[in-house]
Chains A and B, each alone.
Chain A
Amino acid sequence: MNGDDADVVRRCLQGEVDAMHLLVERYQSAVFGLCFRILGHREDAEDTVQDVFLRTFRHLRKWDSLRPFKPWILTIAANRCRTILEKRRTQTKNIDPHLGAIDDESASKTVLRTDLGEELDLALGLLRADYRICFVLFHQQELSCAEIARVMNSPEGTVKTWLHRARKELADHFTRRGIVPEGHYELPRI
């Protein structure tokens, strides 16, 4: 795939519009998935995907063809998302500090399986940007900790810490919301 990517990139650099099409088609799912999960908003994610690919084309010469293309483009996407989250954070801080707060008391004790994804999305929205990006890269893009470390320009140990903290905070969220695993039965206490 890497050699194939190199060929497509070379054709893009030569100005072939078909190759640009091919490159976008090949990576738009991954980039959109990342942006959608991090930003939590479809329209924002679509705009960001377009930005990411425009930046990619602009800096295509900087890509090292000896390295895989996917982590490189995901790096651009993750950084773009981080910038947007930062902007959002400062804006919402000025508007309403309680925006996004969840009313735990109103939560239902039984959450349907289909709602679990929404609950996770909701909880992800409350995580710190680094934790969120790290979690999405690991669980959705299925990158290893070493690859995430390269994407996020951070030590691998830090990435592992972020990942476990993200998982812990998400699990805490489910606990607070009283969500129990499917098919789980309370064990009889002796």
Chain B
Amino acid sequence: MNCLEFRNRLLSAVESQQPVDTELLAEHSRSCSSCEREWQRHQILSQAIGVWNDAVPSVDLADVVVSRWLVEAPGPISFEIPSTSPVLQESETNPSVDRAETSTAEPNVLVIPHSSTSYTSQPNRSRAREVLWIPASLLTLFLILVWNTDNSQLPSTKTFTTRPRNDAKSNPVAKTTVDANETGGTAPLPQLDALIDDMEIGYRELAQSAVITISDAALLSPANENRSFWPSMIMFAPELDGENQPLPETRTTSPVSQGFSKALDLLLEVVPAMESPTS
């Protein structure tokens, strides 16, 4: 066995949590001073880990945790139960369960109140929640429709793709929010930010198209009949054309409305000029 093989064997045994082939490695370590030192370090660490693992004190925090949960939980905690759930079936068949409470309640909702382990029903709350679902659904539907309408107005030749920003995976300790990370949740903010960026770029391009169209239209007026080129010849230069251009890394700080106001200014300039031949 050579030194490289010695180290590889030691490394793979540690990583795979398998027992080390002590005889073989010890034999090599006797013939090589650097491997001997490595072997000693491994041995002392293994001994320490063995002692360290045995010395964890035991705890019993079940009562504390559950009572804290029942006291500190924010407001009554409701649990929606499917109609076929075993608990409900038990309440239907088991006479020890308080039927007076469950008979007047909504059939599928139980509520745990503050600082109590018993279940009570609150039909009004659940009914109010059911009523709230209707406007909430309608609002969501409305927002989806508005979103689709806005998207259909974007230039059809461009493809807009969202891209994640502040990639948390590249940095293991990066956190968007503490709570989201601690519970393994995903933070939607970077995606939302990218989406807003893409929308902004879309609207900018829409404004730019409006400027070009109106500029071209302005050339039709008698005042500009000697012009030899059209604005779109410049503005649709090859380097600006093309789909799926990489999105700019830096955001411009000028508001989107500036593009539209530019278009409006041009329109106002064109309108009197268009009127002049008819007058």
Chain A residues packing against B (C-beta within 8 Å): 11, 13-17, 20-21, 24-25, 28-29, 32-33, 36-37, 42, 46, 49-50, 53-55, 57-59, 62, 72, 75-76, 79-80, 82-83, 113-114, 116-117, 119-121, 130, 138-140, 142, 144-145, 152-154, 158, 160, 163-164, 167, 170-171, 174-175, 179-182, 184, 187
Is the Cβ of A116 less than 8 Å from the Cβ of B184?
Answer: no
22 sampled A-B residue pairs with Cβ under 8 A: A24-B62, A49-B65, A50-B64, A59-B185, A80-B182, A82-B173, A114-B51, A116-B48, A117-B52, A117-B54, A120-B48, A120-B49, A139-B53, A140-B52, A142-B17, A167-B14, A170-B48, A171-B44, A174-B44, A175-B41, A180-B44, A182-B47
8 Å CB contacts to A: which residues of B103-137?
Answer: 110, 112, 117, 119
Known: A58-B73, A83-B182, A113-B51. 15 other contacts (CB 8 A): A15-B110, A21-B66, A32-B61, A83-B178, A113-B47, A116-B44, A117-B51, A120-B51, A144-B17, A145-B15, A164-B14, A167-B14, A171-B44, A181-B43, A184-B40
Is the Cβ of A117 less than 8 Å from the Cβ of B36?
Answer: no
Q: Distance in Å from the Cβ of A111 to the closest Cβ of chain B?
A: 9
Flag the segment in B77-85, B216-224, B227-235 that touches A: B77-85
Determine the main DSSP class of A at the interface with B: helix
Contacts of B119 in A (CB 8 A): 15
Contacts of B14 in A (CB 8 A): 163-164, 167
Is the Cβ of B87 less than 8 Å from the Cβ of A140?
Answer: no
Chain B residues packing against A (C-beta within 8 Å): 11, 14-15, 17, 30, 36, 40-45, 47-49, 51-66, 68-70, 72-73, 77, 79, 81, 85, 87, 110, 112, 117, 119, 168-169, 172-173, 178-179, 181-185
Q: Which of A11, A13, A21, A154 contacts B172 (CB 8 A)?
A: A154
Is the Cβ of B110 less than 8 Å from the Cβ of A14?
Answer: yes
Contacts of A15 in B (CB 8 A): 77, 79, 110, 112, 119
Q: Which of B49, B60, B72, B87 contacts A16 (CB 8 A)?
A: B87
Is the Cβ of B36 less than 8 Å from the Cβ of A187?
Answer: yes
Q: Lowest 6 CB-CB distances: which A-B pairs, in order?
A: A79-B182, A171-B41, A181-B43, A117-B51, A117-B52, A154-B172
Is the Cβ of A36 less than 8 Å from the Cβ of B56?
Answer: yes
Is the Cβ of A13 less than 8 Å from the Cβ of B79?
Answer: yes
Is the Cβ of B69 less than 8 Å from the Cβ of A57?
Answer: yes
Q: Which of A16, A37, A53, A174 contacts B56 (CB 8 A)?
A: A37
Contacts of B182 in A (CB 8 A): 55, 75-76, 79-80, 83
CA distance A83 to B40 in the complex (A): 35
CA distance A80 to B45 in the complex (A): 27
Contacts of A29 in B (CB 8 A): 56, 58-59
Is the Cβ of A55 less than 8 Å from the Cβ of B183?
Answer: yes
CA distance A153 to B183 in the complex (A): 12
Contacts of A175 in B (CB 8 A): 41
Q: Distance in Å from the Cβ of B6 to the closest Cβ of chain A?
A: 15
Is the Cβ of A33 less than 8 Å from the Cβ of B56?
Answer: yes
Contacts of A75 in B (CB 8 A): 182, 184
Is the Cβ of B183 less than 8 Å from the Cβ of A116?
Answer: no
Contacts of B58 in A (CB 8 A): 29
CA distance A39 to B59 in the complex (A): 16
Q: Distance in Å from the Cβ of B50 to the closest Cβ of chain A?
A: 8
Contacts of B77 in A (CB 8 A): 15
Q: Distance in Å from the Cβ of B113 to the closest Cβ of chain A?
A: 11
